[in-house]
């Protein structure tokens, strides 16, 4: 047990479930994240256990006496407010953002609407619902956004279903791919430049941005393979940005995080346009990856926070929407709620 664990009474956490796996397209990544978190918590003396919602009903969490939940799920039915809502009903404190912030952040269209209302920079975009994906609709998108552009499903992560469209002839296939994951399709202006990410820990005025990570993927293609399985992707942390640019990325990240009502932890992805140095917010991840290739642990390490200490800190901040910020999360009773 290290110094971080000794500073906490890990026994006070009670029996902890690490939710991993699930039913989303990111199941494989979630299992890797959850496995890392589980091992880290156990190494610090936490009574932690794996729990896969794809194989077991969430009501079993109460029946089996779990007192707190670490959410290591990614994507739908894990990062979109649905699991958070179920845990609220069960009265089990959980890590990360609450129901509303989770639902908004996973939906990139809703996220952009909030950020635009707050005056935060995000690439120009077009939303194609199921009734506006005909050939004539698709041709109008590059006319408005220019080429190249990005086509993606708005409620998926890990670059799943994403296409960089170089010409009009690619639009139909790109939209069809994205629509295979989501009925709606998001088309986004392509920002040529450096890809950056910045994690956050905490809530409200107490939230703090961690060091920025600069991503250097082969040919600028930071896809699913290069995110989780390739050693060809380079990461710079410290980012190498001038101090004023690093500070600006952190400022934008905190503003984006607070605008969505996020809490606990998260990670913003951004681009810096090469032509003028401007920064643009792409998305907010409310249950970021915790794998061997993941960026939050990398950034935390640069700030002097090791993987085990990071997991403990995230777990410490677990709470319910109904629990006031700054108060301890209540211990859960082992008795199931009525009707569970």
CATH number for the domain that contains residue 109: 3.30.470.20
Q: Are residues 9 and 136 in the same domain?
A: no
From 189, 207, 233, the end of a domain falls on 189
* Dist. CA 336–CA 57, nearest whole Å: 13
254/235 same-domain check: yes
Q: Considering 166, 189, 212, which residue would you say is the last residue of a domain?
A: 189
Residue 10 lies in a domain: yes
Report yes or no on 322 lying in a domain. Answer: no
Q: Of 68, 267, 316, 319, which residue is the catalytic one?
A: 267
SS3 50: strand
Identify the pLDDT of residue 6. Answer: 54
- Note whether 254 and 291 are same-domain residues: yes
Say if 324 falls within a structural domain: no
Same domain, 215 and 312: yes
* 244 among known catalytic residues: no
Q: In the structure encoding, which two tokens stand for residue 58, read together?
A: 């969430």
Position 240 in a domain: yes
180 carries an active-site annotation = no
Tell me the average confidence (pLDDT) per consecutive run of 10 residues in the chain, 340 residues long. 66 98 93 98 98 97 98 94 97 98 97 98 96 91 96 84 95 95 95 97 97 85 48 89 98 98 98 98 97 94 97 98 58 39
Residue 283 annotated in active site? yes
Domain count, the chain: 3
- DSSP for residue 137: H
Annotated active-site residue 26? The verdict is: yes
**Residue 266 falls inside a structural domain:** yes
User: Among 189, 208, 230, where does a domain finish?
Assistant: 189
* Residue 332 lies inside a defined structural domain of this protein: no
Domain of residue 92, CATH code: 3.40.50.20
- CATH assignment of the domain containing 173: 3.30.1490.20
In a domain, residue 323? The reply is: no
Residues 156, 228, single domain; the answer is no
Catalytic residue from among 97, 158, 287, 299 = 158
Residues 154 and 22 in one domain: no
Contacts of 78 (CB under 8 A, 6+ apart): 19, 22, 24, 30, 53, 71, 287
Whether 327 maps to a domain, the answer reads: no
Give the structural domain span for 243: 104-121+192-316
Q: Is 158 a catalytic residue?
A: yes
pLDDT for residue 324 = 55
Instruction: Verify whether residue 157 is a known catalytic residue.
Output: no
Do 172 and 213 lie in a common domain?
no
Cα–Cα nearest to 62, from 321, 339, 324: 339
Q: Do 216 and 310 belong to one domain?
A: yes
Per the CB < 8 A criterion, the answer to whether 10 and 45 are in contact is yes
- The reply to whether 129 and 86 lie within a common domain is no
The reply to whether 44 and 89 lie within a common domain is yes
In angstroms, the CA 91 to CA 68 distance is: 9
| Claim to verify: residue 288 and residue 145 sit in the same structural domain | no
Of 21, 193, 266, 289, which residue is the catalytic one? 289
pLDDT at 277: 98
Active site residue 269: yes
Alpha carbon distance 125, 276 (integer Å): 20
Note whether 83 and 32 are same-domain residues: yes
| Residues 261, 256: Cα–Cα separation, whole Å | 9
Three-state DSSP state, 188: strand
CA separation for the pair 160, 39 (Å, rounded)? 27
Question: Cβ contacts of residue 236 below 8 Å, gap of 6+?
Answer: 213, 214, 216
Output the pLDDT for position 312.
Answer: 98
């Amino acid at each position: 047990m290290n110094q971080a664990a000794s500073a906490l009474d890990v026994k006070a956490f009670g029996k902890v479930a690490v939710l991993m796996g699930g039913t989303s397209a990111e199941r494989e990544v979630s299992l890797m994240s959850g496995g890392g978190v589980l091992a880290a918590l156990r190494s610090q003396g936490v009574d932690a256990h794996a729990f896969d919602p794809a194989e077991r009903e969430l009501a079993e969490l109460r029946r089996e006496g779990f007192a707190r939940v670490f959410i290591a799920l990614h994507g739908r039915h894990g990062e979109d407010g649905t699991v958070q809502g179920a845990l609220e009903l069960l009265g089990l404190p959980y890590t990360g953002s609450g129901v509303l912030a989770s639902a908004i952040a996973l939906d990139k269209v809703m996220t952009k609407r909030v950020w635009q209302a707050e005056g935060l920079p995000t690439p120009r975009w077009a939303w194609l619902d199921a009734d506006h994906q005909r050939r004539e609709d698709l041709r109008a998108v590059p006319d408005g956004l220019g080429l190249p552009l990005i086509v993606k499903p708005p409620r998926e992560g890990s670059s799943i279903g994403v296409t960089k469209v170089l010409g009009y002839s690619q639009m139909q296939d790109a939209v069809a791919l994205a629509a295979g994951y989501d009925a709606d399709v998001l088309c986004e202006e392509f920002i040529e430049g450096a890809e950056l990410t910045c994690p956050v820990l905490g809530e409200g005025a107490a939230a703090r941005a961690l060091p920025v990570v600069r991503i250097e993927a082969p040919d600028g293609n930071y896809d699913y393979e290069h995110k989780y399985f390739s050693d060809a992707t380079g990461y710079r942390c410290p980012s190498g940005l001038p101090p004023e640019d690093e500070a600006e990325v952190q400022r934008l990240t905190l503003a984006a995080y607070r605008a969505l009502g996020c809490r606990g932890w998260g990670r913003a992805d951004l681009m810096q346009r090469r032509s003028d140095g401007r920064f643009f917010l792409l998305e907010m991840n409310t249950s970021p990856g915790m794998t061997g290739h993941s960026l939050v642990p990398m950034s935390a390490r640069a700030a002097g926070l090791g993987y085990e200490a990071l997991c403990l800190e995230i777990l410490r901040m677990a709470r319910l929407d109904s629990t006031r910020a700054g108060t301890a999360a209540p211990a859960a009773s082992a008795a199931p709620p009525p009707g569970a």
